[in-house]
């Protein structure tokens, strides 16, 4: 029996306590096609892929390879079937060379001695065949993100994988690198590889995929040919309603300078160079300023420096006219700085605390929550948490006493936003506030940011998403290798121009 399908997942159902992550989902990947898997966060994409990789066992449904039913009990089975995956976060050994990373786990050897020569030849042949430019002897930590991704792809090809899964591969790339990746994917498909492309970026799917399967809330919505559909149609399938992509906002009326940064330098934790180099800018009340840039160009450290998580190496920081250069985190917070952190699990929440305890994380020491002898005021805490839950529509299983860990990502983020905004700050720093959230939640958060701006607050948004960078702010500052290389007006600039700044191909001498 010669099946047209490389892999078929038929009627897959996988349940977790309280939810059905995959409910009767069917996904058929044709040989030599690029097939997109589209869905919001929490739609069940990751679960489905985990089932395919043998990390979870489905309760119902079958998986077929080339028309024959197969059992995938663990990742080794998946490997044996020729299924390979490029993860969103690369799984590379940073201090190894590209070649060593590619052969890791399948090292060719004779009596335990490595035979790197054969491996090198095979890698070079593969990289030429598919147009994957890499330097096999470069050390991974020194090469660009794009090349790291190509290394990951070569890893799959080196193992002769026929079915390649790309999990949100464009999130970390510059627009130019994204174009290159698209070309590589097309080459791979042409050579007979079958590609599964997981994404929630509609434009990319339209550009590269042949067909697209859409999931929503664990359910199978449908599979469409991309040439017969539109972005609007796909998006409606994904979220179940029409979404307003554009952020509605009134013209900006900047007021007094709230945040002033002068010649700020922050050391890097991972390398010897400074992560933030001599940066100066101002944020005024009533405007949203966005720091744009590719991940890892110093945005994280810039925010650490602003919030006090890392000390400044040099420079000066002024908040509402008060010098905050050496102030503690607590002092900055009580002086009017709110911070929606980049990583809500690392910084934003104490996951094993209840929602109510998380709601007071920045204010627990205030008189309204702590009595004179140091006992917490339980009732005030509960009332306050209930108020925020109600006001910001934070949904959870058991209300205020729900453990933060058990909440969905979007609601966790809402809780953080509620907490930070309710502090009534003068300056709101929001770092990737919509990362990993579905379209509905993104819309809500953007509205909140704009509302803060309209209330005369200063908003500093740090974002990696081009759409967000173009839509939300009033001014864009582009960071590249720790420096601000350009100031752009979102109303007049284009994504292409922004991309050139972000990639370091273009720079102005700006004094913002």
Stretch that binds other proteins, among 66-74, 135-143, 203-211, 322-330 (CB under 8 A): 322-330
Stretch 10-49: interaction string toward other proteins, x if CB under 8 A = -----x-x--------------------------------
Note whether 346 binds other proteins by CB under 8 A.
Answer: yes
Tokens encoding 486: 């350009």
Q: Whole-number minimum distance, CB 424 to other proteins, in Å? A: 17
Q: Name residues whose C-beta falls within 8 Å of residue 5's C-beta, 6 or more positions apart in sequence.
A: 28, 29, 30, 31, 64, 66, 67
Size of the site for other proteins (CB under 8 A): 33
Contact 146, 90 (CB under 8 A): no
Cα 427-428-432 angle, rounded to 5 deg: 150
Note whether 267 binds other proteins by CB under 8 A.
Answer: no
The binder of other proteins chosen from 44, 169, 341, 410 (CB under 8 A) = 341
Of 97 and 412, CB closest to other proteins: 412
Tokens encoding 491: 């109303």
Stretch that binds other proteins, among 199-207, 235-243, 305-313, 452-460 (CB under 8 A): 305-313
Q: What are phi and psi of 458, to 5 degrees?
A: -90, 135
DSSP state of 247: P
Q: Whole-number minimum distance, CB 403 to other proteins, in Å? A: 10
Contact 134, 147 (CB under 8 A): yes
Of 24 and 487, CB closest to other proteins: 24
| DSSP run (H or E) holding 261 | strand 257-267
Tokens encoding 411: 């609601």
Of 162 and 310, CB closest to other proteins: 310
Note whether 503 binds other proteins by CB under 8 A.
Answer: no
Tokens encoding 409: 């990502």
Instruction: Count CA atoms closer than 13 A to 427's CA, side-chain side.
Output: 30
The footprint of other proteins on residues 347-386 (CB under 8 A) is 347-353, 357, 361-362, 364-365, 369-370, 374-376, 378
- The SS3 assignment for 262 reads strand
Stretch 46-85: interaction string toward other proteins, x if CB under 8 A = -------------x--------------------------
Please state the separation of Cα 378 from the chain's center in Å: 36
Binding residues for other proteins, rule: CB under 8 A, are 15, 17, 59, 307-309, 328-333, 339, 341, 346-353, 357, 361-362, 364-365, 369-370, 374-376, 378
């Amino acid at each position: 029996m010669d099946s047209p399908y490389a892999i078929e997942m038929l009627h897959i159902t996988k349940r977790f306590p309280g939810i059905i992550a995959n409910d009767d989902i069917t996904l058929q990947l044709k040989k030599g096609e690029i097939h997109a898997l589209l869905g919001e966060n929490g739609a069940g994409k990751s679960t489905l892929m985990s089932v395919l990789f043998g990390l979870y066992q489905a309760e119902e449904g079958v998986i077929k390879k080339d028309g024959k039913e197969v059992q995938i009990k663990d990742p080794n089975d998946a490997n044996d079937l020729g299924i390979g995956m490029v993860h969103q976060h690369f799984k590379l050994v940073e201090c190894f060379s590209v070649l060593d990373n590619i052969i890791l786990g399948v090292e060719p050897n004779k009596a335990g001695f490595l035979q790197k020569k054969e491996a090198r030849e095979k890698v070079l042949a593969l990289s030429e065949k598919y147009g994957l430019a890499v330097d096999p002897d470069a050390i991974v930590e020194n090469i660009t993100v794009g090349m790291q991704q190509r290394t990951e792809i070569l890893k799959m090809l080196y193992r002769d994988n026929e079915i390649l899964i790309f999990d949100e591969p464009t999130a970390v790339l510059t627009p130019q690198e994204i174009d290159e990746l698209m070309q590589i994917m097309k080459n791979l498909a042409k050579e007979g590889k079958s590609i599964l492309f997981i994404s929630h970026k509609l434009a990319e799917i339209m550009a590269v995929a042949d067909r697209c399967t859409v999931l929503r809330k664990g359910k199978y919505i449908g599979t469409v040919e991309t040439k017969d559909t539109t972005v609007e149609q796909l998006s409606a399938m994904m979220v179940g309603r029409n979404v307003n992509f554009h952020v509605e906002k009134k013209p900006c009326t900047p007021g007094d300078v709230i945040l002033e940064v002068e010649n700020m330098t922050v050391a890097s934790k991972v390398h010897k160079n400074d992560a933030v180099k001599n940066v100066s800018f101002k944020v005024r009340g009533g405007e949203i300023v966005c720091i744009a840039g590719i991940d890892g160009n110093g945005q994280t450290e810039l925010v650490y420096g602003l919030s006090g998580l890392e000390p400044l190496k040099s420079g000066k920081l002024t908040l509402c006219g008060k010098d905050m250069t050496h102030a503690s985190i607590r002092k900055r917070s009580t002086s009017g700085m709110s911070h929606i952190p980049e990583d809500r699990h690392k910084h934003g929440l104490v996951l094993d605390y209840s929602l109510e305890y998380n709601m007071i994380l920045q204010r627990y020491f205030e008189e309204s929550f702590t009595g004179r002898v140091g006992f917490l005021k339980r009732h005030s805490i509960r009332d306050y948490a209930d108020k925020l839950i109600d006001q910001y529509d934070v949904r959870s299983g058991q209300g205020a006493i729900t453990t933060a860990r058990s909440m969905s990502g979007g609601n966790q983020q809402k809780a953080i936003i509620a907490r930070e905004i309710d502090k009534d700050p003068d300056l709101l720093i929001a770092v990737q506030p919509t990362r990993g959230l579905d379209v509905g939640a993104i819309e809500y958060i953007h509205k909140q940011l704009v509302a803060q701006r309209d209330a005369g607050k200063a908003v500093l948004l740090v974002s990696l998403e081009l759409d967000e960078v173009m839509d939300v702010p009033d001014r864009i500052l582009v960071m590249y290798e720790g420096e601000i290389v350009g100031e752009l007006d979102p109303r007049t600039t284009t994504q292409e121009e922004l991309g050139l700044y972000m990639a370091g191909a273009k720079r102005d001498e700006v004094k913002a």
